[in-house]
Structure 1
């Protein structure tokens, strides 16, 4: 044992001492013409293949699964209610949260105002309106008396049927009210009828069947946009924004990009009225997403961005956006399926009017008469594209912009002469957008009155009374 212990302490046994004396011979060389694989590859050749089983497979130790129980009628009657309740609980647990409620509609009278049969159209499209059922193909409308009766029945009975004649009647009354609002500049009467109809449409939309949902959503979008436009021109921008927001959502539900673009354009204008160019530019950019791939939406989006950048004082960005808007106008596009305000002449009038406003803002901020001359040329072009007797509010706005361009060119006498027809307008009769333009002109007229004499001072005083 001592010898074994000593041997273990030395770390080398007798067998190892014998092996230490043996002279190791090198491995034989590979035959000529063949490369030696080396010791590592030789060892790998002696190993079994990776797919060769190294031991016998054993059967699984756990017992096989039981077959599913047989569904007898008695078991089915007992288990079906339990499974149904379990699925309902699981669905409620995994259901996404409901989106926040949309802003409510502006409050108003619950009674529908009396509608007069004046200016009721007999065929669609009419006054920038298309039939929710037939689109740009056009259709015949019922007589005015029948249309008014169907409209009154729709607003009075929410459980009544929604047939083709009723849809035509609602669109006809909307066209008549918009025509009356165009003639009555600054009045609020037609808006009550439109908002009462909107509430009746929205009350049906929540529980409407699938075949009526798209038609009701399009009617709601058109009525909401019309109500917002009338509130905007009436000087109520906060409730107008609420109507425009609802109009965009309903138009998206109905697949109506035209109403979406119109509402977003008006929302961009509201951003300008609030002196918020960043918000106005964001709304203008959304126009391209509402109707992608169309040159008319690109032109309206670019002109909205031009007005926002002009309000921010960025000359280069404004000129760049104006050039892109005119580039969209020069691209041909089929306008047969568009409403009348998107036809090439009307679209060019909108672009020229927006160009005049943007260049006028830049001229007023920088004092550059060259920008004022370009703005004056664009305003005259827009006024020439506007038909005689059409859109008196747009004509009044272009007249104010022409006078303002003369004022930016240091020509107060021509500006006062251009404003003379509007100075006799009763207070409050002008739309809110025209009054906003007059406020800016009055501020510039008051600032230059010491240089321009008593005529400028008197005109500024008359403008203060008119706005």
Structure 2
């Protein structure tokens, strides 16, 4: 039996012991409890004996029926210690290498109280210790004092598990709040705050590590902060710094075997190389996403979507369409664990993201092959994506509007393209976000390259000049 398998079996045994204790305390027999949660009593018996992995949907029903306050879900989600040893976490000399930037005054103490989450997960951020168990977060006013305590010697944080947990919860809530603020406007102060707190978390992880403990929660949290820092840098047009943060985050996610973080960080890295029109590297990263965990359907969906875009750049129509079909099938089969780990890939928002990626892949394929039928299918997917767009995602609406215009240009209708793009040209020109800049550049090249003499295109060019291009 491998170390990982042995740890999993021990986790099932711990869950079974707590389940038996809670069932008896509630006064249920195994038969009665099975009827209450909709499962056969023999499964309850196997779970209590540590003989079966607890299904996540059943765990939540057990917590509800037994009124445990999420205790059973927390046991399932709790990390398993990775013992230090040669080549393991504690021996990695690069894990705590210097990271970019200098500390600047933070503003986490003036975060908008209306944006403060009450529980985790929030904005797709799970608790670094307990996953999706539903942890409460501390009061917003308590967080600055906790964070400031990390600037001085803080053995109390490494010795006091309750305070450590509270701080991890609070710093995750701060990040969720900063993400919500960034939906309205990305500011230099917001970026500086994310990066300052990220350096605080990494120093904290290094201290825990030096004391001989695995800094599991700290490194999971650092990976989350690194991903947000990288995305904010992308929104400011700074691709190299963004890629550097994603690289740091990937190392931290790898160190604690955080599969969801690894998959999403690879997705962001895949986006950056795709924006450089590097089809080969796009496919390498896209396949790496799928290799993270073949059993998680949301990860397989992402992998197929990114592979579709890589094959589109490669002019491989058959493979592009095959991966689009695979992505739609996998998306339709997402289960409860998928929705818990990737809530942004479920419901209307999930459909928006999937169809956006498909529209982008079909548009790229149409642009490289000149196939107007493919371009019209890109129009359909992009229009569906825009229809599912939440109101607050203004930058995404701008991006999809430009993409839809470009789809019409690829379909041979420059008039429709200009009509869509004209109202948002000034906003697009002012934007520094890499993806918006790339969409505008592609649209501009297709309109002026093919239809530069048309009156509507000449008017479009004049609007660009007025906008400062």
For the 8 Å contact 1:112–1:197, the answer to whether it is kept is no
| Structure-2 separation of matches of 1:151 and 1:353 | 38
Task: Return the match for 1:358 from 348, 358, 361.
Answer: 361
Deviations 1:220-246 (Å, cap 9, x if unpaired)? 110111111111121111111111111
**Please, what is the CA RMSD of the aligned residues?**
2.4
Task: Return the match for 2:438 from 422, 436, 439.
Answer: 436
Cα distance change on mapping 1:156 and 1:356 into 2, 3 Å: farther
| Structure-1 separation of matches of 2:87 and 2:111 | 48
Q: Which residue of 1 aligns with 2:202?
A: 202
Higher alpha-carbon Rg = 1
For the 8 Å contact 2:95–2:252, the answer to whether it is kept is no
| Structure-2 separation of matches of 1:295 and 1:262 | 13
Q: Which residue of 2 aligns with 1:169?
A: 170
For the 8 Å contact 1:355–1:375, the answer to whether it is kept is yes
* Structure with the bigger percentage of helix: 2
Task: Return the match for 1:393 from 374, 386, 395.
Answer: 395
For the 8 Å contact 2:129–2:216, the answer to whether it is kept is no
Q: Which residue of 1 aligns with 2:119?
A: 123
Deviations 1:132-161 (Å, cap 9, x if unpaired)? 123212122122211233233335656552
> Structure 2-normalised TM-score?
0.73
Deviation at 1:311, TM superposition (A): 1.0
> Structure 1-normalised TM-score?
0.74
Aligned 1:369-380 pairs, distance under 5 A = 369-380=372-383
Q: Which residue of 1 aligns with 2:100?
A: 107
Deviations 1:413-460 (Å, cap 9, x if unpaired)? 22122123312327533522111110110111111333422x312323
| Structure-2 separation of matches of 1:241 and 1:438 | 22
Deviations 1:88-123 (Å, cap 9, x if unpaired)? xxxxxxx88987746966532323322322022222
For the 8 Å contact 2:237–2:432, the answer to whether it is kept is no
Task: Return the match for 2:350 from 341, 347, 372.
Answer: 347
| Structure-1 separation of matches of 2:130 and 2:333 | 28
Q: Which residue of 2 aligns with 1:77?
A: none
Task: Return the match for 2:141 from 139, 145, 154.
Answer: 145
Q: Which residue of 1 aligns with 2:340?
A: 337
For the 8 Å contact 1:158–1:200, the answer to whether it is kept is no
Unaligned runs of 5+ in 2: 1-85, 158-162
Deviation at 1:188, TM superposition (A): 3.4
Aligned 1:441-460 pairs, distance under 5 A = 441-453=443-455, 455-460=456-461
Q: Which residue of 2 aligns with 1:294?
A: 296
For the 8 Å contact 1:198–1:220, the answer to whether it is kept is yes
